[in-house]
Amino acid sequence: MRVLSGIQPSGSLHLGNYFGMMRQMIDYQEREELFCFIANYHAQTSLRDGKALARGTLDAAANFLALGLDPDKSVFWVQSDVPEVLELTWVLSNFTPMGLLERCHSYKDKVARGITANHGLFAYPVLMAADILLFEGEKVPVGKDQKQHVEVARDIAVKFNNEYGEILTIPEPDIDDQVATVPGLDGQKMSKSYGNTIDLFVEEKQLRKQIMRIVTDPTPVEEPKDPDRCNVFQIYRLFLDEEQEEALRRRYLAGGLGYGEIKQELFETARDLFAPYAERRRELVADADGLRRILAEGAERARHAAAKTLRKVRKKTGLSY
């Protein structure tokens, strides 16, 4: 089965990126056919600084590779290195009802939070549909907030296939309910846009400072606490297996556990888990040309796969003559 997903290169990598998508993607390369890309076209909906986007693209590549993505076991590329995706985006736009895009929650949410409304932001789901359909993605790991966009891709593919036959593969969203939405410092979804992230590759002092900012309630130390209503617990549990999570839950319910104590434990756990990855990342960032070679090779393989779909689309739509 072909698994496909991507991540935007805007800003530093945080726990929401890792637990919400990246860890799953890296695990998939051992048992499925993995296609993984850096979505720099998507990043342009909110990032205007060209130098920052270029730098962020290489940083994102280093992040994935440092965390264990193997370019020999997967297809790994930068979105803009495969121009076929823009051609398919245009074709699919002609099968996308305006009402379908107007109902997308992500667009309305971002505009409500002050992001400038423009065509790129509005048409974002069509580009995402092209990302998926161009490479015949069968399974698309996403957070709960992106499920609607995969459903939009399905709707567009069905409309296209109804017109031209079974050309496009209908994708399925793959959501891990345990980490469907990773909470941030304030309990909302962890997001760079909300300024509530815990970053992976930062100095130890900064990591601890971020974790100590997690919002908690005023329950006294000696009283029992509800783990299901605690932001610290909801983040900490992502690092734990079932037995460890249950043990932590019992400590919450027993009373005598201070939030400062549990935040310190979370800090030490996060620091120790990501320290080896951080060292590998430093090595990769120091060899920018090596990173570019890996991405160029991945783009070549991705374009080969994309050409297969686009040949069929061009033939059926009359773009080939």
Distance CA 234, CA 236 (A): 6
Mean pLDDT: which of 15-24, 57-66, 188-197 is highest?
A: 57-66
Distance CA 274, CA 280 (A): 10
Distance CA 276, CA 278 (A): 5
pLDDT in tens, 87-138: 999 999 999 999 999 888 888 888 787 778 889 889 999 999 999 999 999 9
Q: Which domains does the chain have, with CATH numbers?
A: 2-181+288-317 (3.40.50.620), 201-282 (1.10.240.10)
List the catalytic residue out of 110, 139, 225, 263.
110
Q: How large is the average pLDDT for residues 146-171?
A: 95
Q: Among this protein's residues, is 192 annotated catalytic?
A: yes
Distance CA 300, CA 131 (A): 16
- Give the pTM: 0.86
Task: State the average pLDDT for the chain.
Answer: 93
Residue 317: phi, psi to the nearest 5? -90, -5
Q: How confident is the model at residue 294 (pLDDT cuts 50, 70, 90)?
A: very high
List the catalytic residue out of 139, 192, 225, 263.
192
Predicted pLDDT of residue 61: 95
The answer, yes or no, to whether residue 16 has pLDDT greater than 80, is yes
Q: Which of 49, 60, 130 is nearest to 94 (CA)?
A: 130
Q: Among this protein's residues, is 312 annotated catalytic?
A: no
User: For the residues of 250-273, what is the DSSP string, one character each?
Assistant: HHHHHS---HHHHHHHHHHHHHHH
Q: How confident is the model at residue 179 (pLDDT cuts 50, 70, 90)?
A: low
Which residues, 6 or more positions from 50, have their beta carbon under 8 angstroms from its beta carbon? none
Which residues, 6 or more positions from 119, have their beta carbon under 8 angstroms from its beta carbon? none
List the catalytic residue out of 139, 189, 225, 263.
189
Residue 141 β-bridge partners: 174
pLDDT in tens, 197-213: 999 999 999 999 999 99
Q: Among this protein's residues, is 189 annotated catalytic?
A: yes
> For residue 114, how many other CB atoms are within 10 A of its CB?
7
Residue 39: phi, psi to the nearest 5? -90, 75
